[in-house]
Amino acid sequence: MVFGLCAWMLYKSHDEARHYAVETSQNITLIAQRDIQRNIEILSLSLDSLTHRYQHPSFRQLSREQQRSYLFGSTLPAKHVEVMAVLDHAGKVLVSSMPGDARNTYGDRPYFTEQRDKPDLGLYISKPIDAKFARGLQVIVLSKRLSNEDGSFAGVVLMALNLSYFRDLFSGLQLGEAGVMSLYSRDGVVYMRLPSTADAIGRDISTSPGFQQIKPMMARDSGSFVVRAITDGVQRLYAFRNIPGTELMVFVGRSEQDIFMHWRDSLYAVASLMLLFSIACVLLLRVVRREFRQRQEAEEKLRTLVRIDGLTGLLNRRALDDMLAALWGRCRRQEGSFSLLFIDVDYFKFYNDNYGHQQGDEVLVAVAQTIAGQLPRSSDIAARYGGEEFIVVLEETDADGALLVGEKIRAAIEQLNILHARSQCGHVTASIGAATYRRELYADIDAVLNAADAALYQAKADGRNRVCSAGPTRQGLL
């Protein structure tokens, strides 16, 4: 009976170690997925901004150097962006953030031909390539189509992203001595792998037995599997996750040796301590309790990380969506009411351009703390919606109450008196849109959000640094 009990407990701890490894790896892929997705969205918006500036009528009236300064400013929009450029319909560089690049032509590159041949393609992410402008530099190119007024092809806007972005992201995650982290495309091209070899990046592994084995699983958003790597022969437990809106997938692999290292230690300890039955039972129970407690603590930390925005400490977008869905259901069932405030920091991009992203992050933290400090009740919720946008949820609050809270927040942000030389006010301010749930007006929670967003745009159109309310009787507060 003692041997059976020990065998059962060892089996359970082995199963728990595996389950915990899967769970931890999935959470690591989730963190990487969100970081990559968020940065790709930011880079896509940067390309949209570049398109807008290039097609602005005033752009043609500028000199060559003025055009370059107008399009790109003094800095690129992200740390790992090496170059941004505009190509004409033949692939010739019209204007580039890199001096001297205007002599080159890129009409044969896939990031150009795909945009030319597929009008509805949207954002295109190339395979890894060796940059022409720097020896030994590997990049991926993000491009978007330029169209003439009649819809015909006018060229592309593009940027080159240094693959060191993925290396820096992955290298900060601890996966054990034999752990690996990779970024592949769904057709089997390697974008990044840590630890990496010189010829790993850009390699096509689509025909390898290991890739063929896991290919049927890639239709799912995420999953896990066990396979022996063809590069080093190590058997690993892998977790993967698709990156929405792209053809990329992030993989995390942990060797079974690392996963079950502590379990093997327990096995040797139990085998030795079985000679002293009473001591072995006490020690084994203590080990199980400790492992269980550590696992619970780790899971709780991971749950917190998934729900809290890492920069501001407010609820993140995912937690906000869950909370709004629950609130909507309660209000529909119980005839409840609520109001939303959509808050946007005025001219925040100009602030980042002028003072740098680090100070920009400090402003976001200060604004978030100020918003949270102005909420009158514990049931009121503040969340970061994305970038410099925030959402405040006020349960059981009518339109007048929402305007009052919105004005308190606006005034408190203004009273921070943070210098902003490129704002018309001379300091950091915020515009706020308010919307109050009314059963006859809004069919779902997205309609309420859209109403608050429309009110926010009205506040900006009215001169910024003000609060506007959605609805037929919209009113503003200064």
> If you average pLDDT over every residue of the chain, what do you get?
83
Under the banding of pLDDT at 50, 70 and 90, the label for residue 416 is: very high
Where a domain ends, among 259, 277, 301? Answer: 259
Same domain, 249 and 321: no
Please identify, among 259, 277, 294, the residue that sits at the C-terminal boundary of a domain: 259
Q: Confidence band (pLDDT; 50, 70, 90) for 474?
A: very low
Note whether residue 6 is domain-resident. Answer: no
| Same structural domain, 346 and 448 | yes
285 assigned to some structural domain: no
Phi-psi region of 176 (alpha: psi -120 to 50; beta: other; left: phi over 0): left
pLDDT in tens, 305-342: 568 888 998 999 989 999 999 888 888 888 778 999 99
Report the amino acid identity of residue 5: L
Q: Is the pLDDT of residue 394 over 80?
A: yes
Which range (59-73, 96-110, 260-274, 281-295) has the least confidence? 260-274
Q: Tell me the pTM.
A: 0.51
- Inform me whether the pLDDT recorded for 473 exceeds 50: no
| 365-379 pLDDT per residue, tens | 999 999 999 997 888
The total number of structural domains in the chain stands at 2
Q: Is residue 409 part of a domain?
A: yes
Under 8 Å between Cβ of 340 and 393: yes
Separation of alpha carbons 93 and 115, rounded Å: 15
332 and 427 fall within a common domain: yes
Q: Judging by DSSP bridges, how do beta strands 467-469 and 124-125 pair with one another? A: unpaired
Look up the domain containing 426 and give its range. 317-477
| Predicted confidence band of residue 19 (pLDDT cuts 50, 70, 90) | confident
Query: Given the structure tokens 């999935």, which residue do they identify?
Result: 26
Domain assignment present for residue 222? The answer is yes
Mean pLDDT value across residues 61-84: 76
Dig out the tokens for 267 from the structure.
């096995």
Within-domain flag for 212: yes
pLDDT tens digits, one per residue of 248-278: 998 888 877 777 666 666 666 666 666 666 6
My answer on whether 249 and 348 are in the same domain is no
Same domain, 224 and 343: no
